[in-house]
Amino acid sequence: MASRIKRSPRARLGATALILSVVGVSGCGPSGGGTATQTSANAPPPSTAAKALLAQLPAPYNTADLDNGRLHFNLCRACHTIIQGAPNMTGPNLYGVFGRKVASVPDYGYSAALKAKDWVWDADHLNGWLRDPQAYVPGTKMGFYGLHNDKDRIDTIAYLKVASGGGGL
């Protein structure tokens, strides 16, 4: 049986900062803050479909920076797919996550703690979950330490809404 290496929060943050620097996000470190760097000053504006999906979100998510959200979603890509019909990975496929009952992706082995919850994924639940999954659902097997910067989390949730809803991102 494989054992898990336990790392301190500082070590996890340092590893995350390294990953973020590789994918083009700067300013992350032991302080837990950080903002994405703009990779393209000429990023195309959101599509009509993306704007419509973004408008479905309550404030402040409906005015989020989708480019910043896309960069921070790279943290999620190691474990999650977001394309319709893509397989589950370490985590479940997130396509269509908004409006989906928690722990309901077929053929994915959720923790008992998450299966015991009874809610539908929305911006507020994702906000609590992404802030600190272990505190939000004690006993979850999700190993992500959390996205502690409020703006980055808001932007990531908005990006997830658009990308997982067919918004063309």
Contact at 8 Å (CB) between 67 and 36? yes
Element (H, E) at 70: helix 66-73
For 47-163, CATH number out of 1.20.810.10, 1.10.10.1100, 1.10.760.10, 3.30.310.50 equals 1.10.760.10
Tens-digit pLDDT string for the chain (169 aa):
444 444 444 444 444 443 443 344 333 333 334 433 344 455 667 788 889 999 999 999 999 999 999 999 999 999 999 999 999 999 999 999 999 999 999 999 999 999 999 999 999 999 999 999 999 999 999 999 999 999 999 999 999 999 999 876 6
DSSP letter string over 112-165? HHHHT---B--HHHHHHHHH-HHHHSTT----------HHHHHHHHHHHHHHTT
Question: Long-range pairs for 130-134 at CB < 8 Å and ≥24 separation?
Answer: 130/156, 130/157
**What pTM does this model have?**
0.74
